[in-house]
Amino acid sequence: MIVASRPRFDWSLRTRSLALGARTLLVGVVNITPDSFSDGGQFFSPEMALEHALRLLDEGADILDLGGESTRPGTRPPVSVEQELDRVLPVLGAVLRERPGAMISIDTYKAATARAAIAAGVEIVNDVSGFQWDEAMARTCAELQCGVILMHSRGRMNEWRTQSPIPQEEVVPLVLRELRERAEAALKAGVQRASLVLDPGFGFGKSFEENYPLLAHLDALHTLGYPVLSGTSRKSFLGRTLAEIHGQDTPPEQRNNATLASVTAAVLAGAHLIRVHDVRAAREAVAIADAIRAAAK
């Protein structure tokens, strides 16, 4: 079995640093939205979101990723900064009161949201646009000296369903080239290299079959010289493959077994962080994958 090497890093966050590479870290998803593709509406109330967040921490999440706007493709209007903060800040404050040491990221592409969340105690900004959708985001993150997750996204949400396909042999070179450009732009804006983690953006502007070359060659991202986060949890490309077994698309909440397969593949390819909805199951899969990694040395 081929197990990719995983370089070690010290990820510089707002108030602390986090060692990456010795073991795989889990990022638990907390969608405080009515319309996320996987669990929209389930945790929309602050009370339900807090309960969910604390449960993810108890199940082994190393980081909580709080989001107040869905990136599911559709025709709904964008969420304003005010709406996003009204959703996120009460939950963020409640989590930090219950668990003062909790490590939290804010899933947003808006600089104003990032600034308010950092002021309220967030350590990391997770920008699915890779600093492309708000020209102030790079400068804001540089000023705030927070941790940053830069995701590769091809186009905007309303463009994903109509984009021209990418030949499979071009998927990985495209993502590598554009992630390198976005990381270099972040550095030019003043973000510290040690603050950056890169995410290839499964499903974000990639059609169903275009995600598998990216997962199969995830280790190629190490050539960029940054830690890698993988987020395949419950994604539609997994559901499309399961449809070949079941004869119909599998809804997101029934894609957990497929998610664990993709999580295991990502860890063996050297991913440092895994973003998931079901932390308990992922923690077990990651433990086995990390044990395989250790035995392969």
Which of the residues are catalytic? 235, 275
Q: Which of 65, 62, 66 is nearest to 18 (CA)?
A: 62
Residue bearing tokens 């998927």: 171
Q: What is the DSSP string of 8-36?
A: -EEEE-SS-EEEESSS-EEEEEEE-SS--
Give the closest residue to 69 by CA, choosing from 131, 129, 145, 140: 129
The answer to whether 120 touches 100, Cβ cutoff 8 Å, is no
Q: In angstroms, what CA-CA distances link 213 with 172, 202, 207, 238? A: 7, 11, 11, 13
Closest CA to 278 of 244, 255, 294, 246: 255
Task: Report d(CA 17, CA 13) in Å as an integer.
Answer: 5
